[in-house]
């Protein structure tokens, strides 16, 4: 099986991708795969092709913010960003459970300059995320409904391209409101003007 997969990866006209939400793999015509991405990336308000490699500029701007924060507080310090990095890259998993087998676009930031900084922020901001109406996994959800004797209706809502439809400015305002102005939460030990 692995030998066959390796041989298929060497075929220029065949792209091997994971199926979305399953452990299966899908063989898709490479031209069709690229056409599906052209449709996704053609949504110009959400995606813009850069005219240059922004890595050094991103490092410089992030380091300015890090230095400003580190100078303003002794509570939470961040490491400056050093080293060589790559731009994020885009790939797609095939939604075999949907008509036309669209792609779920996934942008990997693992080798980008701000990847570790973002992971640090996840740890810092997770305590501010309300968990009253959310669960961490489908296993936890199933456990909750199996143990419940109440009646009702369960509905599943699907938002097309959820993450590319999240409004950045409003999201940042909501986070700042929760972290710095909500009396029910403790304030994050980062000055708001450097966050």
pLDDT by position in tens, the chain (length 195): 667 767 777 778 888 888 998 888 888 999 999 999 898 888 777 788 889 999 999 999 999 999 998 998 888 899 999 999 998 988 999 999 889 999 988 889 999 999 999 999 999 998 888 777 778 887 888 887 877 666 777 777 777 777 777 888 999 899 899 889 888 888 888 887 765
Backbone angles phi, psi at 57, to 5 degrees: -65, -40
pTM: 0.74
User: Other CB atoms closer than 10 Å to residue 78's CB: what's the count?
Assistant: 19
Structure token digits, residue 151: 């009646």
**How many C-beta atoms lie closer than 10 Å to residue 95's C-beta?**
16
pLDDT tens, position by position, 22-60: 888 888 999 999 999 898 888 777 788 889 999 999 999
- For the chain, counts of helices (H) and of strands (E): 6, 4
Quote the CA–CA distance of 113 and 84 in Å, as a whole number: 8
């Amino acid at each position: 099986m692995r030998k066959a997969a390796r041989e298929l990866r060497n075929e220029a006209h065949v792209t091997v991708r994971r199926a979305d939400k399953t452990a299966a793999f899908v063989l898709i015509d490479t031209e069709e795969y690229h056409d599906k991405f052209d449709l996704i990336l053609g949504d110009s308000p959400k995606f813009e092709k850069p005219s240059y490699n922004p890595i050094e500029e991103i490092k410089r701007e992030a380091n300015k913010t890090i230095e400003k924060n580190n100078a303003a507080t002794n509570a939470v310090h961040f490491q400056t960003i050093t080293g060589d990095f790559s731009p994020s890259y885009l790939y797609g998993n095939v939604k075999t459970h949907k008509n036309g087998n669209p792609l779920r676009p996934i942008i990997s930031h693992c080798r980008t300059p701000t990847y570790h900084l973002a992971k640090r922020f996840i740890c810092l901001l997770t305590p501010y995320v309300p968990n009253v109406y959310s669960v961490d996994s489908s296993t936890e959800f199933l456990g909750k409904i199996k143990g419940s004797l109440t009646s009702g209706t369960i509905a599943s809502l699907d938002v097309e391209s959820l993450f590319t439809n999240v409004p950045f400015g409003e999201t940042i305002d909501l986070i700042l409101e929760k972290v710095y102005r909500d009396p029910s939460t403790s304030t994050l030990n980062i000055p708001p003007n450097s966050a």
